[in-house]
Amino acid sequence: MKITVVGASGMMGSKIVRELERGGQSVSGASTKTGVNAYTGEGLQAALADTDVVIDVTNSGSFGDSDALDFFKQAGKNLLMAAKQAGVGHYLALSVVAADRLVENDYFRAKLVQENLIRASGLPYTIVRSAQFFEFFNGIINSAAEGDGFRLSPALVRPIAADEASTLISQIAIGLPHNDIVEIAGPEAVPLDQLAREILTVTEDTRSIAIDPDAPYFGVGLANATLLPGANALAGSLTFHDWLFRSLIAAQEGGG
């Protein structure tokens, strides 16, 4: 079985490639660095030749990027056409938990368009909606900066370590297509403001945090459970607290 990871030069793509290689899978990484451009279609047909499984982790910009819709529409059409021509038997795409509840934001709305293109393609597929990765929370917290502090919703999140997400995605990819959505998340639900306090403590950042139920999340208002996956989500085992502690130790050792 040949697996092609499209978007392989990004954080998640590179982790998935390594995870599949460790498992003895035949895997090929495709990205702009290897001459494959999902948006223009350049190199896609050759990259997907003889591919059995496509793992699509292509991405465009940030949650506030207004160009996301154009990217995911065009890249999605190109990828799905190339996958159909190659006779791909399982098309797996990475999406975001709660994308359907965050449509006021351009990025999440674009992810829904990507999902709909996949459903309509006729290809056997699995859409993996992941909770946010631990590694992204510095950026998420910084997006809530206001004046000399932060204004954050106390809404619950179940973030997951990128390493554990890559393992789950790899396991799903080598299995049969679900033709449905599969959610993955971390082991525990934690308020956004608590995660922020942990990050600020570790980074010795003395700025204050104001808890505000009306504080937006990338422009979207949150209810307490808006960002949580469903009860059947596949779960990692590493908590944010333990991951943050390990990251701090690794940074100290690397700097020592």
- pLDDT computed for residue 3 by the predictor: 98
- pLDDT computed for residue 249 by the predictor: 83
- pLDDT computed for residue 60 by the predictor: 82
Phi-psi region of 21 (alpha: psi -120 to 50; beta: other; left: phi over 0): alpha
| Stretch (H or E) spanning 56 | strand 53-56
Full residue range of the structural domain in which residue 79 is found: 2-255
CB-based burial label for 237 (10 Å; 0-12, 13-18, 19+): exposed
CATH number of the domain where residue 10 is located? 3.40.50.720
Please state the pTM of the whole predicted model: 0.93
Mean pLDDT, the chain, rounded, equals 93
- pLDDT computed for residue 256 by the predictor: 47
Residues of the chain with pLDDT under 70: 61-66, 255-256
- pLDDT computed for residue 203 by the predictor: 87
pLDDT tens digit string along 176-211?
A: 999 999 999 999 999 999 999 999 998 899 999 999
- Please tell me the total count of domains within the chain: 1
